[in-house]
Amino acid sequence: MAAEMQSDPPPIRSLLFVPANRADRMQKALASDADGVVFDLESAITRNTATEARANVAQALESHSPDQPAVFVRVSAVGTDDFAPDMEVCQHPSLTAVMLPQVARPDEVAITHDVLDGTGILIMPLVETASAVRLAYELATASNRVAYMGGATGRHGDLGRSVGFQWTPEGTETLYLRQKVLIDVRSAGVPNPLSGLWGTIDDLDGLARFARQTRQFGYEGMMIIHPSHIPIVNQAFSPTSEEIDAWRRLVAAVEEADTQGIGAFRHEGRLIDRAHLLTAQQNLSRAARLGLD
């Protein structure tokens, strides 16, 4: 299936996980500066609280307002008994995306796509297994609803268990995983690749380094597990005012050069041509969507 976007996905820099059986934490998350929140119906709750958690999600979606963070719901995996009731509560126009865990095959994404027929709800497949890393392009192109996706790096999490890597703060053991998945999802046309996680809650310096590296790779944002991580991640994935001013000057310089019939030229110590113009325009467009222009 061609990767044509189902609807215009909101830009997400910070995506905060919240257990869906904790209504108090869900409301705090909706009042935060995160770009998006994930109400977790899968691994963050016990199965005996699933009914209560679904009711919490339904209430949060019903009362959600446009000025609050975008809402994602992590449902149970395709093929489990909880998948259908989890997906039922997701049928609400306030929901931005379904987060799909433990994806191993493209048909699981396609099944989720079909359940969402008639809605504008998007899909975020989670890359949590070696199989998902290998098939990332196929997963990303299995539905035109896939708008968010990327390589995960959770410490002692599902992907670490599947691949067998030993986590380090430097992240060298996941460099290939994150970059391989990023190239796959970018090739598939996924507009907002998201990576993560940084699981050490109080190591904010480590988080800042990891977030900067993730942005340098080409990701648009990160999944996060604690509210204290929000400002650090938002800053790492936001252009500075100096960068925005520099892109504007570059665009103006190229436009002036065009009037004089000049292609490549020197600008602020660099050789500039049309490729640089397109990059600057793309960066300015992203800044505008983040409300930073």
Whole-number pLDDT of residue 164:
80
Q: Does residue 13 contact residue 235 with C-beta atoms inside 8 Å?
A: no
Tens-place pLDDT, residues 216-244: 999 999 999 999 999 999 999 999 999 99
- Cα distances from 65 to residues 28, 30, 60, 95, in angstroms, run 14, 9, 10, 11
What is the dihedral sign for C-alpha 248, 254, 260, 264? positive
Nearest to 73 by CA among 232, 65, 88: 88
pLDDT at 214: 94
Distances (CA, A) of 130 to 140, 158, 205, 223: 15, 9, 29, 19
For the beta carbon of residue 289, count every other beta carbon within 10 angstroms.
13
pLDDT at residue 167, rounded to an integer: 82
The predicted structure's pLDDT at residue 86: 97
Domains along the chain?
14-236 (3.20.20.60), 241-289 (no CATH)
pLDDT confidence of residue 7: 57
Nearest to 98 by CA among 112, 114, 119: 112
State which residues of the chain have pLDDT below 70.
Answer: 1-7
Q: Identity (one letter) of the amino acid at 202?
A: D
Alpha carbon separation from 110 to 34, 57, 103, 150, 182 (Å, rounded): 29, 24, 11, 18, 21
